[in-house]
Structure 1
Amino acid sequence: MIEAPVETPKTSPIQNLLKGLPTLLVLAVMGGGWLVMHHINSKSGPIEEAESADAESADSETPLADTLVLPAGKVRVAQLQSAPAQSQAVQHFHTVPGRLRYDETKHVDVKAPMDGILAEMHVTPGQHVQTGDLIAILRSPEIGQARAEILKRRQEREIAQQVFQREATIASNLRELSQMLDQGDSMKTIEAALNNRALGTYRQQILSAYSKMRLADELLEKVRPLVASGSVSGRTVREREGERQLAETEFRTARDQATFAADQALLSAQADLDEADRQLNLAWQAVETLLGYKEDRANANLSNEEALSRLEIRAPFSGTVEARHFAGSERVARGDCLIVLANTDSLYVEASIRESDWSAVSLQTGTPVSVAVPALQGQQFTATVNYLGREVQSDTNSVPLVASINNTDGLLRPGMFVRVTVPIGHAKQALSVKPESVIQHENQQFVFVDLNGGQFKRVDITTGQASDEWVEVTEGLSPGQLVVTNGAFLLKSELLLQGEGE
């Protein structure tokens, strides 16, 4: 059986056009893209050629991987600055946490010095007081007894003073009498001059002996003329002369004894007066010890029992009342804390230096340290070191650091957290660059050396100690090399982009 041939269907022109449409679209897109790129290249060509010309004029050689070449225009816009690497004094610092505390010498509990009744309370918490201001009034028999002792010692002193004045007057009058006796004045003249002057018992002793001597002189003078006429024998004259010598001896003895006794009495009176002064001063000191302050001794009121038992408690220094523990009319015992008084014009900064660091810390008394207070937007203050402890604390393995900080403006408060920056080791001369010159990438520190003409070279370095102003360079640089300071980070970005382009 012969099969009939199969007829092939005819394809229309529209079907052929639809089959070739994708290919035409692809060709059209490629042609349009070529036209756009040609148009762009025709516009950017002069700019790229100008930049290429600037780069070629700056450096005709091909830049290395660690070298960066910038056009003069970009250098001007970036405002790059360079400084030579040079030897500088570098001091390493370490920052440790700390707290502000009260100055222990200006934070005290004002306590009752004795048992009594708190009659009046004159301060409240938060009140500022000056040195010597009245804080409270206490009624106590103990202070009354101490003041009564003052009255007793005052009276004893007055008696001793009167005795001393009398003995001094007698000694002075006795010296004047001795001068008149040496001049040989008559008894009438002497008595007239010293009739109302104090001489004590010495008047009778001396004047009686002087009168006998004068009488013996008169008798001797009367007898002597009679010897020549034979009316009186020579024996009588000799007897009169003996009597006269005996009277003179008694007179001189009386004078010497009176002078010695007067001097001794004056010295004894002076000693009694000095002792009375000491006892009175001790009585005042006992009262002032109970009071806690110096009292005005000249104007102290000791007139009655109420004044004697009144104890005024006054502020030992200027400060602020932090707390008050008693009210008026309460009974208090010796040692009870009446108020807490603090002066925050200066505070202590307490910090801890770790055991591994303290041996390297170069701190002496008076060394200034920097204190940053985070609560005050990181404001910086300067404190002065009081001492660095010697004993390592077992709980923290650190040694305490205590410094004084001025707080007259009242910005700081006890308990605030602070950061204390202390020097480590001693400052040393070393090749250094500015901190902003040092850049780090992939754990490697480097700087850009200015080769002039817009050419900058990356140089890897090794650093040592660092301060706020300088960083020590131990390897990689030589003295005098120009190192970029301002704009080093921009150069780093350019160098990274250059690496990506390659």
Structure 2
Amino acid sequence: MTITNASTPPSSAGDPAADLAGTKTGVVASVMNGLPTLLVLAVMGGGWIVMHQINSGDSSTEEMEEPAPATTSSDTLTLPEGKLRVAEIESVTAQAHNIQHVHTVPGRLRYDQTKHVDVKAPMDGILAELVVTPGDQVNAGDLIAVLRSPEIGQARAEILKRQKERDIAEQILQRELTLAKNLQQVSDMLDQGQSVDAIEKAFSNRALGAYRQDILSAYSKMLLADEQLAKLRPLVASGSVSGRTVRDREGERQLAETAFRTARDQASFEIEQSKMKAEANLAEAERQFNLAWQSLETLLGYKEDKDAVNLSNEEALSRLEVRAPFGGSVESRGYANNERVMRGDSLAVLANTESLSVEASIRESDWSVVNLHPGAEVSVMVPALDQCVFPAKVLYFGREVQADTNSVPLVARIENNDGLLRPGMFVRVTVPIGERRQALSIKPESILRHENKPFVFVDLGNGSFQRVDVSTGQTSEDWVEVTKGLSAGQPVVTQGAFLLKSELLLQGEGE
């Protein structure tokens, strides 16, 4: 028995219309089967669109409600009042200043060579006593050591000899001066025509030397001839005496007068010659005496008091005192008491550090433009004394370039009255380069660097500051020349510039 489904149409195989109807019926069935999935996708897409619109609306609302931030330049900085007060920022106006380029070179402090002396033994001998020790302070002329030396004894004995010779020469000169004075007085009495007895009486106790006999004898003969001639002349008239006898007596009188005048002239000449010779002998004796003292003082190394020196015995003659040539401190000593020393041996080293020398070297490339001359002032900074700066005056600036360093030497004198400086200290010497000139300048502490570019902060007022890139030129100890970036009158930050740099960098990171 065959069962037939009422809902299933009977097979219509071979009918095209029937086949097309069947195909449409299958498509509709497939669409109906996928409809739930399409509905789920549509719902999800609609929800996403709604949420996106909601979010977009909220964001727009927030952007509409938030106020727009103030626009500031990346090189401008404004500090709040609190930070501005704490920073204690100070500014200096950029303006023209006298500026001179300087150059700083390393150097060393040295002893002043004129006040650093190796006190040496002036000759061979025995060191009887060395009275100083290292660290002692001595004054010029103070006793340092005592030596016993035969050479000194000989030098002092030579002084005694020359002193005696000088005394003798002085006595001879005094005698010749006395004779010349007395002879002049005799001549005055002779010119007055006084008698021989009167002259003899006046000069009985006064020196006339051999001139007494020569002059007075000739004078007596002349006077005798005058008397005889005076007696004979009256007798000629009476015929008692012939005229020839009178003429003979007149001739004898003329001869006596000639002899008298010759004796006087000879005496005057001889006394003058003797006086000149005595003066020359005394001058020579004085020179020899002074040379003997100079020889002794050369051996001693100092000047002795000629009035107080003791030359009375052999021990005093051979005593050699070595004294300080100047005031200072004893740096070292070389021998002990009673040691034998030779000429040139170092007894002690004496130094005066009230002034020191500063020695530095200027590079070959700079020395031709260094503006230095004796007496010029340079600055000396001592790192060991908390960067203290001392003035010094140039003593010598070399001309010859040293082959080993390609530099020229610079020597200056620095005062050390307070005793803070010591020889051997390392220092930095600042020397001027070129001539002074007017240039727009700012303080060195105003210049900062970022990425190797120099810049400064210009104070705009009301807590605002602007970074300005600059170009610099010559520098001195107090000022730096600005060749580009600033104009005269702009206030440039000095104190607090580094703080502003830090704030500006933080502001850049925030952006």
What is residue 223 of structure 2 aligned with on the other side? 214
Preserved contact between residue 126 and residue 321 of structure 1 (Cα < 8 Å): yes
Would you say how many aligned residue pairs link Structure 1 and Structure 2? 449
Q: Which amino acid aligns with 1:161?
A: E
Task: Give SS of 1:280's match.
Answer: helix
Q: How high is the sequence identity, in percent, across the aligned residues?
A: 71
**2:277 maps to which residue?**
268
> C-alpha displacement at 1:252, in angstroms?
0.6
1:354 partner letter? R
Per the alignment, residue 188 of structure 2 pairs with 179
CA-CA distance at 1:498 after TM superposition = 4.6
Q: CA deviation at 1:390?
A: 2.4
Corresponding residue of 1:16: none
SS at match of 2:330: strand
Residue 126 of structure 1 aligns to a residue whose secondary structure is coil
Matched, 1:365 2:374: yes
Deviation for aligned residue 1:448: 3.4
Seen in structure 2, the aligned counterparts of structure 1 residues 449 and 380 have a Cα distance that, compared at 3 Å, is: closer
For 1:202 and 1:407, the matched residues in 2 are separated by 73
Mean CA deviation greater in 154-163 or 183-192 = 154-163
Determine whether 1:202 maps to 2:211: yes
1:85 positional shift: 2.4
**Matched residue SS, 1:410:** coil
| 1:428 partner amino acid | R
Match in the other structure for 1:150: 159
**Residue of structure 2 in register with 1:398 after alignment:** 407
Deviates more, 1:198-207 or 1:455-464: 455-464
**What is the CA RMSD across the aligned residues, in angstroms?**
2.7
Q: Distance in 2 between matches of 1:423 and 1:102?
A: 24
Q: Deviations over 1:141-195 (max 9, x none)?
A: 1111111111111221122122111111111100000000000001111111011
Q: Which residue of 2 aligns with 1:302?
A: 311
Pair 1:247 & 2:226 matched: no
**Does the C-alpha gap of structure 1 residues 76 and 136 become closer, same or farther in structure 2, counting only changes over 3 Å?**
closer
CA shift, 1:225, in A, is: 2.1
**TM-score (structure 1 length as normaliser):** 0.83
Q: Find out whether 1:442 has 2:459 as its counterpart.
A: no
Q: Give the whole-Å Cα distance in 2 for the aligned partners of 1:72 and 1:132.
A: 71
- CA distance in 2: counterparts of 1:74 and 1:180, whole angstroms: 117
- Measured against aligned partners, the alpha-carbon deviations of 1:87-121 in whole angstroms (never above 9, x if no partner) come to 11112222222221111111121111111111122
Q: Does residue 344 of the first structure (1) align with residue 353 of the second (2)?
A: yes
Residue in structure 2 matched with residue 479 of structure 1 by the alignment: 488
Provide closer, same or farther for how the CA distance between residues 111 and 496 of structure 1 changes in structure 2, counting only shifts above 3 A.
closer
Q: Which runs of 5+ in 2 are unaligned?
A: 1-61
TM-score for both structures, normalised by structure 2: 0.81
Counterpart amino acid of residue 98 in structure 2 = A
1:332 maps to 2:354: no
CA distance in 2, matches of 1:489, 1:331: 70
Say if 1:103 and 1:344, in contact at 8 Å, map to a contact too.
yes
Amino acid at match of 1:358: W
Indicate if the aligned counterparts of 1:63 and 1:69 stay in contact, CA closer than 8 A. no
- Is the counterpart of residue 163 in structure 1 residue 185 in structure 2? no
Deviates more, 1:194-203 or 1:63-72: 63-72
| Displacement of 1:472 | 0.5
For 1:147 and 1:418, the matched residues in 2 are separated by 50
The Cα of 1:286 is off from its aligned counterpart by 1.2
